[in-house]
Chains A and B, each alone.
Chain A
Amino acid sequence: MSFLNPLADESLDERLARQGVSRREFMEYCSALCVVLGVGKKFAPTMAKALQTPQRPPVIWLQLQECTGCVESVLRTAEPTVGDLVLDVISLDYSHALMAGAGHAVEKALHDSMTANAGKYVLLVTGSVPLAENGVYTVIGGRTAKDILEEAGKGAAAVIAVGACAHFGSVQAARPNPTGAVGVADIIKDKPVVNIAGCPPIGDVVTATVVHFLTFGRLPDVDPVGRPLFAYGARIHDQCPRRANFDAGQFVEKFDDEAARKGWCLYHVGCKGPATFSPCPIFQWNTRTSWPIGAGHPCIGCTEPHFWDTMTPFYGRLPDVGGFGIEERVDVLGAALAIGATAGVVAHAAATGVHQMREKNRQLPVVDGPSQGGTPNK
């Protein structure tokens, strides 16, 4: 997509021609992206126009408490590629991972962009915000993640929280959350925050969301946990190619068994697809090469809030609520109690029999009542 170079002194057709791309191809690209975004092809011209503004829209990318997996994921995007995005579509004014300078030089670049573009820049955030101990668990340039995020949030036109860390704190927020990590939406409350869920998310969802904002001037519609509907609107389980095996009752019971070698459903070995909203089966990963279930591993539910606690043990079918999910301990316990109840019933019946015999003196009256349907209440 190097045809996205938005330089003012060149017409779109000229530019496309220079880069060996026809206008039709470019429009096709925009149409395809419109379809991905679920807005319909009719918006392709709007998008084409939006992607070629003379001034590239400023983007500031903060990396807070995180593992950089989300940045790496964006580096794997198909269309537009990150190179095209950074050189041609947006102006990436701050990025810890890619900036040439360091220290004061980049802090100044950040500050200058925030001032010059106040109210106009897109704020991308990867990573969570640790709140315990006054935020000392993530300090950048001497300032806490919370400070930095609050400042950058003020002038942002849109806030895009990329990845599970920015969404809810991901792994560092897992029990017992030693650093008090929270997501971006817990800090920025005065404007909408869209959550590109996943640990990491598919990079293409991030770029598509940015393009959505550039095209329509607003963030895409979201579900109750802030995830854009165009990507997270459906469950994995309802889009999964192994669903036919699920419905048929064909399950992998152990990894690498005959069923696994036939690509059957992974429900039995812990697949969290039935509880996970994510576009993995449709978008797929790494320029549509594969996706977790496609490579034989159950989905671990990485787009769901707090999946580290609610979806574990990953290879069990039930979450470990209070230690009962492990190895389906509840089933063992439940069956034991049910059997126990039955046994208790039997014992009680026996005791009742004994009791009855002891109470010999108690004479049971002989029924001499009326036949059924005897005149009621005359």
Chain B
Amino acid sequence: MTKATPQAGRPAAGQQGFHLGADIAAPSGNYRWVKLWGWPIRLMHWLAVGTMVALVVTGLYIGKPYFMAGGDTRDHFLMGWMRFIHFAAAAIFATTAIWRIYWLFAGNRFERLPALFPIRPRDWVNMVKQVKFYAMIEPEKAPHYLGHNPLQQLSYTGVYFLAMVMIVSGFALYGQSDPSGFFYKAFNWVGIVMGGMPVVRFVHHVLTWAFLIFIPMHIYLAVRADVLERGGVISSIFTGGRFVPAKHHFVDGEDLNE
């Protein structure tokens, strides 16, 4: 019997539903299956992935219209569509962000604030070991995490921060077309803080590249973990859980370790 109610006031582990702290399967052979991500996180992740791809593609076109429509103006709406898709995707993207913020407080312990931001001293200590792990120096000494390891925490923190800046700067840009409208009034401070709308646009543009740098590394690390650990890390973001070696000691899974 495994104690699996890490947070007081939470429903007891073992019950289905996204309020569970963590569903940890009983050991079976060398592996056990651990439930990590509730469906809201998974949905959010894939919505974010989809909209972000759309945002990057359309955003880069908006920034530099690299192909053109010839002929009569009335027959085309190329930039119009690009912007429409950008704004529609932006709306979904922003919604997922709001959702994620809520879920920082409502999610399970792998989804909550402390699991996403390296705010505990132990995370910083472990981060060094984690860096060594990826540098393939003493990889065996790397700490095991069920959820995000500190390096992942940091990079996700970074990505969420980026996303916030994109959203805020995006809506500030969006508001410009109607100075009496809601978005102008709600986001006009952004221009003042950043030093003018041109700077806002610059920031919005530059950070697009930050995403394009994050994405390949992120996908790689997920795949790598999957291959090395054979635990189904990738499928975790589809199914919500993964297999973990039963013998490992997990930094964020004390209750799992006998």
Contacts and interface: CB of A to CB of B under 8 A. Distances in A.
B1 to A, nearest CB: 8
- In this complex, which of A267, A318, A364, A375 has the most chain B Cβ atoms within 10 angstroms of its Cβ? A318
Interface stretch (A83-91, A133-141, A177-185, A331-339): A331-339
A349 B224 contact: yes
Given A268-B64, A311-B198, A369 B73 contact: no
B90 interface: no
A317 B63 contact: yes
Interface string A278-304: 000000000000000000000001001
B2 to A, nearest CB: 6
B152 interface: no
A247 interface: yes
Contacts of A245: 73
A102 interface: no
A251 B66 CA distance: 10
Nearest to B25: A376
Contacts of A331: 63-64, 209
B69 A250 contact: yes
B31 interface: yes
B101 interface: no
B202 A319 contact: yes
Given A275-B201, A377-B2, A249 B65 contact: yes
Contacts of A356: 228
A45 interface: no
- In this complex, which of B28, B30, B198 has the most chain A Cβ atoms within 10 angstroms of its Cβ? B198
A318 to B, nearest CB: 5
Contacts of A10: none
A335 B63 CA distance: 14
Contacts of B69: 248-250
B240 to A, nearest CB: 10
A32 interface: no
Contacts of B134: 348
B132 interface: no
Contacts of B24: 376-377
Contacts of B177: 235, 237-238
Contacts of B208: 334
Contact of A305 (B68, B80, B196, B220): B196
Contacts of A244: 73-74
Given A248-B78, A345-B217, A334 B30 contact: no
A310 B203 CA distance: 12
A249 B76 contact: yes
B198 A335 contact: no
Interface residues of B, number: 65
Contact of A338 (B67, B82, B209): B209
A221 B248 CA distance: 68
A356 to B, nearest CB: 8
Contact of B68 (A251, A319, A342, A368): A251
Contacts of A246: 79
A330 to B, nearest CB: 5
A355 interface: yes
B80 A247 contact: yes
Nearest to A272: B198
Contacts of A310: 195-199
Given A238-B177, A310-B196, A341-B217, A369 B33 contact: yes
A192 interface: no
A325 interface: yes
B198 A275 contact: yes
B131 interface: no
A333 B206 CA distance: 10
B26 interface: yes
Given A319-B199, A367-B243, A376 B33 contact: yes
B14 A369 contact: no
B209 A330 contact: yes
Nearest to A333: B209
A224 B205 contact: no
A73 to B, nearest CB: 24
Nearest to A318: B202
A250 B70 contact: yes
A330 B25 contact: no
Nearest to B32: A369
A224 B188 contact: yes
B123 interface: no
Contacts of A351: 136
Nearest to B13: A377
A278 to B, nearest CB: 13
Contacts of B9: none
A248 B220 contact: no
A301 B198 CA distance: 10
B121 interface: no
A201 to B, nearest CB: 18
Please name the 6 residue pairs, one residue from A and one from B, whose CB atoms are nearest each other, closest first.
Answer: A249-B78, A334-B209, A369-B31, A248-B76, A247-B80, A338-B212
Interface of B: 2, 4, 13-14, 23-26, 28-33, 35, 63-65, 67-70, 73-80, 82-83, 134, 136, 139, 176-177, 179-180, 188, 192, 195-199, 201-202, 205-206, 208-210, 212-214, 216-217, 220, 224, 228, 230, 239, 243, 245
22 contacts: A223-B179, A235-B177, A245-B73, A247-B79, A248-B69, A249-B77, A249-B78, A318-B198, A318-B205, A319-B198, A324-B202, A328-B64, A330-B202, A330-B205, A331-B63, A338-B209, A341-B214, A352-B228, A367-B30, A368-B30, A369-B30, A372-B239
Given A233-B179, A249-B80, A337-B209, 5 more contacts: A248-B75, A304-B198, A310-B196, A376-B23, A377-B23
